[in-house]
Amino acid sequence: MSSSTTTTITKRRPRRGRASNALTLAMALMLGYALLPLVWLFMASTKDTASLMDSFGLWFGHGFHLFGNIADVLSYDHGIYLRWFGNTLLYAVVGAGGAAFIATAAGYGLAKYRFRGRTALAATVLGAIAIPGTALAVPTYLLFSKAGIVDTPWAVLLPSLVSPFGVYLMRVYAAEAVPDSMLEAARIDGAGELRTFFTVSLRLLAPGFVTVLLFALVATWNNYFLPLIVLSDPKWFPLTVGLNQWNALATGAAGSGATTTDFYPLVVTGSLLAIVPLVVAFLFLQRYWQSGLSAGSVKE
Amino acid sequence: MSPAPARRRRLAALVPAAALVLGLTACGSSGAGSAAPAVTDPAAALDTPTTLTFWTWAPNIDKTVALFEQKYPKIKVNVVNAGQSATEYTKMQTAIKAGSGGPDVAQVEYFALPEFALSKRLVDLKQYGAAGLESKFTPSAWSQVALNGGVWAVPQDTGPMAMFYNQKLFDQLGLKPPTTWAEFEDVAVKIKASDPNRFITSIDPGDAGGLDSFIWQAGGRPFQQKDAGNVAVDLQDPGSKKVADLWSSLLQRKLVDAAPGWTNEWWQSMDSGRYAMWLIGAWAPGNIASTIPNTAKDWRVAPMPQWSTGDKVSAENGGSAVAVPTSSKHQAAAAAFAIWLNSDPEAVRSLNDNGLFPATTGLLTDPAFLDKPLDALGGQKANRILADSSATVGTGWQYLPYQVYANSVFKDTVGQSVNGGDLNAGLGAWQKRIADYGNQQGFKVTTP
């Protein structure tokens, strides 16, 4: 999944010059490019196996099987799909929410306080961004296995709470968004540091917080490699790993045993259902996001 | 203390019976469970409350497992799909290394067994009486689990090769199914002539198992393990060369399509008559029936094309066995479960009903099985042909002790030469990668 941002023009300015046809065409092409896979996914979700094999991808097949397919997805293997959905929600909400909160607090601390080792700490965080999570997956597994939390939700949640990029982003954002004079005013009024953070700073940091939350949400929702390694029991799988397992079963049981279940419609329809929450999250959180984009671009 | 070997073997051979008797007479173990020392006798183990974790990706196998649980109510089996093939093996390796989180019983394909067995990651089932099972299984299935003097798994299903072809299309074009590879080539030319967008079949650039099976059938034995440390690789032995020459020529003349198998497009080609046949293991009818339901009835099965007229040689493609990893805490019960699941006549029939092609001679010679018309193939009594294929599998085939790795680099080597190149060059590149890796891993790899 990729995210697309659209810039809305809030204040109507009088139009100067004609709209560029070339640009409009380019944008239309981009839009088509972004939407085509979604159209295919929707159309494919309305088909049974036979239609998937012999009808045009971007149009309906024989009959409309969407609701039947959804029922199959939700009932297969005693409703394991719903369980995966719940797991993904848990990992995304707790993981991304926790990651966004920790990143906000850490970024704010790095931006607004002077303490020994601050520069070294900031450099370490910056360096951590350069290490891909995939490279850490196997060492993480061995570490967790020693701690005895492999095959539990903690194995997915703990690593997703850490977002060095989020810390870096929030540090830059907090430096601009929270004026030092306001912090001083809060201190003079007798508020403790924690109270200042929760009542004053956090509100000012909301746009940045939501940005990090969205990034983390997409990252945890699409997290695949880590859960693949640390989980072996399907009852803790997120959707990504579960759907991939169905896909593996659909595309041949590795030369062993026949697939006597129609997995293709399950995979396609399951994928369609899996992206709905992300689309909703984007539609609802976009406005917070945009309002924060211009922060620091002009001197207050 | 464990009993004397002879007695133990006899006991284990009688596992199901003994356990049944124990169950009926309600004697035997105390059923203390957790605090008791590890039970080493399978018969007693089946009467001790235990929970086993069984890693498998075979769909619907839980139905057969349920039969086991009915019969041995003290054992609970958790069926877990921890991923297919390489995914599962990676997890098993890490879990065994970590000493926890692994299964008690696991599905392992034949090509991956030597790797697990030789690195001492599997329990030798001989100590649980598996040696006495030899007569129950086909020689080719047994030869793939009995390695280096041990028995490392119980065969679950096999995939003797056969030629599945679209009979309706053959009739339309006035063609007869080829019986030799020379005829196969003629038919390939005629199919292409009927429509330039049609192919006799396709070859998957990423599927090592498919090409291995062709080489096996042609008499090639490219992988030979002399002893624990010594491996010989020759992917230009006469059998390998014959196969590479034939398929290179077919691919260069565009008579065969080079396309990944099992994808949506690939099945569409199977469905629409763009591909006329599929040379694959005997487990395929179920896949054909469930994926292309509208045209499945047009398909039939015939024996594999032969290299010399009048020959009857086949090979295996795919298939799995069930093994017990050394990290299991309930090895006796796990072994007893693996043995019952794959050798008890009732269990074996249930496995077959759920789409697995048998590995036991009992079922392969059972008239009810042989004469069963397969709806998937228009009511053809296909099992007769498939069972014949099972009986004529070439002997002496071996896999590398690191075949999982070898298969993972097949796509970068042989796969690159599938698109109009020379497969012999691809095989050479594959051989080099196999030899380099083996030497790095501490084997002594000899190549010609």
Single out the residue of A43, A62, A73 nearest to residue B294, CA to CA. A62
Say if residue B36's pLDDT is above 80.
no
In this predicted structure, which of A195-199, B250-254, B284-288, B439-443 has the lowest mean pLDDT?
B284-288
pLDDT in tens, B163-180: 999 999 999 999 999 999
Average pLDDT of the residues in B395-409: 95
Question: How many C-beta neighbours within 10 Å does residue B440 have?
Answer: 9
Pairwise CA distance, residues B421 & B414, whole Å: 9
> What percent of chain B clears pLDDT 70, i.e. is strictly above it?
91
Chain B hits for A52, CB-CB cut-off 8 Å, are 264
* H/E run at residue B54: strand B50-55
Lowest-confidence region among A30-44, A75-89, A273-287, B320-334: A273-287
Q: What residues of B are in contact with residue A229 (Cβ under 8 Å)?
A: 90-91, 94
Q: What residue of A is the nearest CA neighbor of B319?
A: A256
**Is it the case that residue B159 has pLDDT exceeding 90?**
yes
How would residue B298 be classed by pLDDT, with cut points 50, 70 and 90? Answer: very high
Predicted local distance difference test score (pLDDT) of residue A5: 45
B388 three-state secondary structure: helix
pLDDT band with cut points at 50, 70 and 90 for residue B376: confident
Helix then strand count (H, E) for chain B reads 21, 14
Q: In what order do the strands lie in the sheet with B230-233?
A: B223-225, B230-233, B444-446
In the predicted model, what is the mean pLDDT of residues A150-174? 91
Segment B185-200, tens digit of pLDDT:
999 999 999 999 999 9
B303, B179 in Cβ contact below 8 A?
Answer: yes
Contact map slice: B 364-423 vs A, CB within 8 A: none
Summarised one tens digit per residue, pLDDT across range B299-317 is 999 999 999 999 999 999 9
User: B51 touching A, CB under 8 A?
Assistant: no
Q: In sequence order, what E strands does B246-377 have?
A: 257-258, 277-281, 299-302, 316-323
Considering only alpha carbons, which residue of chain B is nearest residue A245?
B83
- Taking contacts as CB-CB distances below 8 angstroms, the residues of chain B near A268 are none
Residue A114: exposure state from Cβ atoms within 10 A (0-12, 13-18, ≥19) = exposed
- Nearest-angstrom CA–CA distance, A119 and A126: 10
State mean pLDDT over A177-203: 91
Residue that the structure tokens 């350069």 belong to? A130
A232, A235, A263: best to mutate for the B interface, most B CBs within 10 A: A232
B153, B321 Cβ separation under 8 angstroms: yes
Q: Is the pLDDT of residue A230 over 90?
A: no
Average pLDDT in the A253-257 region?
47
Q: Which residue has the higher pLDDT, A94 or B29?
A: A94
- Identify which has the larger pLDDT, B422 or A146: B422
pLDDT digits (tens, 9 = 90+) for B227-244: 888 999 999 999 999 999
CB pairs under 8 A between A and B: 140
Give me the pLDDT at residue A12, please: 58
**Interchain CB contact of A189 with B (< 8 Å):** no
Please state the pTM of the whole predicted model.
0.81
pLDDT at residue B21 greater than cutoff 70: no
Tell me what pLDDT residue A9 has: 47
Residue B372: what pLDDT? 94
- pLDDT value, residue B41: 83
For A36-79, what is each residue's pLDDT tens digit? 999 999 999 999 888 887 788 888 888 899 999 999 999 988 89
Show residues of chain B in contact with A76, CB under 8 Å. Answer: none
Locate B177 and state its tokens.
């199914």
Cα–Cα dist B166/B265, whole Å: 17
| Average pLDDT value over all residues in chain B | 89
Question: Does residue B20 carry a pLDDT above 50?
Answer: no
pLDDT greater than 50 at residue A6? no
On whether any CB of chain A is under 8 Å from the CB of B56, the answer is: no
Contact across the interface for B57 and A49, Cβ inside 8 Å: no
Q: What is the mean pLDDT of residues B387-411?
A: 95
Closest chain A residue to the Cα of B265, Cα to Cα: A53
> Chain B closest CA to A161's CA: distance in Å?
24
Confidence of residue A290 (pLDDT cuts 50, 70, 90): low
Least confident of A117-126, B283-292, B319-328: B283-292
CB contact under 8 Å between B356 and A53, yes or no, is: no
| Across B103-113, average pLDDT | 95
CB contact under 8 A, B101 and A260: no
A148 touching B (Cβ < 8 Å): yes
> How distant is the alpha carbon of residue B311 from its chain centre?
24
Question: So what's the pLDDT on residue A137?
Answer: 81
**What's the whole-number mean pLDDT along residues B196-210?**
95
Residue A110 exposure: Cα atoms within 13 Å on the Cβ side: 25
User: Cβ–Cβ of B268/A248 closer than 8 Å?
Assistant: no
pLDDT at residue A211 in the model: 87
CB contact under 8 A, A256 and B292: no
Kindly determine whether residue B356 and residue A249, on different chains, have CB atoms separated by under 8 Å. no
pLDDT at A293: 53
Q: Is the pLDDT of residue A1 over 60?
A: no
Whether the Cβ atoms of residue B325 and residue B102 lie closer than 8 Å to each other? yes
Which residues in chain B are contacts of A141 at CB distance < 8 A? 94, 98
